[in-house]
């Protein structure tokens, strides 16, 4: 891969899944690493269980738009399989698609899960994770976001060490145990993505 000077990342999921936490950790780590950051978030009505998306843009130079243009995202990061597909129009053809494969079925007619999974696997460069199971193995189901972050870190322009140390800082207030479980979840996600 050629050295990129910028990365556009779509972060998707369902309101309440902690999309903003993922953004805050990648964005914070990027800023510490000396990158410019723009990050468009969703607050308000959709957060009540609706489809939620953040546009996160990292660059060594200045960034113009808060929103990622269609067909421009390098990474699609999703907490939910159908939500990963919803934002494919934002993806470049060579984008990496990293998603949790545990569906949130709280819609009237959730599509056939096998079909969704097949669609995800059609994408040339995909990483599908059973993030819930992995988080439980890491010690807490609440570390799902850290699994996804770990998997994403394999593709981010931010060094792994910076990501880990920012993750550590982010969870510091909650005690050593929480930090360790999240780091373990992060490492498991990263291994799966390699």
CA 100 to CA 87: how far, in whole Å?
15
C-alpha 170/C-alpha 182 separation (Å) is 10
**Residue 188: CB minimum distance to other proteins, A:** 27
170 binds other proteins (CB under 8 A): no
Q: Given the complex with other proteins, which of 58 and 184 has the nearer CB atom? A: 58
- Give the contacts of 89 (CB within 8 A, at least 6 positions apart): 70, 71
Nearer to other proteins, 47 or 179 (CB): 47
Q: Are 131 and 182 in contact (CB under 8 A)?
A: no
Among the listed residues 87, 166, 170, 171, the single contact to other proteins using CB under 8 A: 87
Show contacts with other proteins in window 96-155 (CB under 8 A). 106-112, 115-116, 119
Compute the least distance from the CB of residue 38 to other proteins, in Å: 5
Asked if 91 interacts with other proteins (CB under 8 A), we say yes
Closest to other proteins by CB, 142 or 180? 142
How remote is the C-alpha of 175 from its chain's centroid? 24
Kindly indicate which of the ranges 36-44, 134-142, 149-157, 180-188 contains the residues binding other proteins, using the contact rule CB under 8 A.
36-44
Query: Residues 4, 66, 121, 172: which binds other proteins (CB under 8 A)?
Result: 66
**Which of these segments, 44-52, 160-168, 169-177, 180-188, binds other proteins (CB under 8 A)?**
44-52
Kindly state the smallest distance separating residue 184's Cβ from other proteins, in Å. 25
* Rounded Cα–Cα distance for residues 145 and 77 (Å): 11
Q: Quick one: which of 142, 157, 155 has its CA closest to 192?
A: 155
Question: Using the rule CB under 8 A, is 39 a contact of other proteins?
Answer: yes
**Ramachandran class of 61: left when φ > 0, alpha when ψ lies in -120 to 50, beta otherwise:** beta
Buried b (16+ CB within 10 A) or exposed e, 149-174: bbbbbbbbbbeeebbbebbeebbeee
> Can you give the binding site for other proteins, defined by CB under 8 A?
14-15, 27-28, 31, 36-51, 63-71, 82-83, 85-93, 106-112, 115-116, 119
């Amino acid at each position: 891969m050629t050295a990129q000077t910028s990365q556009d990342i779509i972060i998707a999921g369902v309101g309440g899944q902690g999309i903003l936490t993922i953004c805050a950790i990648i964005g914070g780590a990027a800023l510490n690493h000396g990158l410019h950051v723009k990050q468009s978030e969703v607050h308000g009505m959709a957060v009540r269980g609706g489809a939620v998306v953040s546009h996160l843009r990292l660059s060594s130079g200045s960034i113009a738009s808060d929103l990622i243009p269609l067909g421009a995202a390098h990474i699609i990061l999703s907490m939910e399989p159908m939500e990963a597909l919803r934002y494919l129009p934002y993806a470049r053809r060579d984008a990496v698609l990293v998603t949790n494969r545990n569906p949130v079925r709280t819609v009237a007619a959730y599509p056939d899960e096998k079909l969704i999974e097949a669609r995800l696997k059609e994408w040339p460069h995909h990483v599908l994770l059973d993030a819930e199971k992995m988080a439980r193995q890491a010690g807490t189901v609440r570390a799902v976001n850290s699994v996804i972050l770990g998997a994403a870190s394999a593709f981010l322009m931010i060094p792994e060490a910076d990501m880990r140390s920012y993750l550590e800082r982010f969870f510091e207030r909650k005690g050593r145990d929480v930090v360790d479980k999240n780091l373990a979840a992060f490492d498991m996600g990263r291994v799966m993505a390699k």
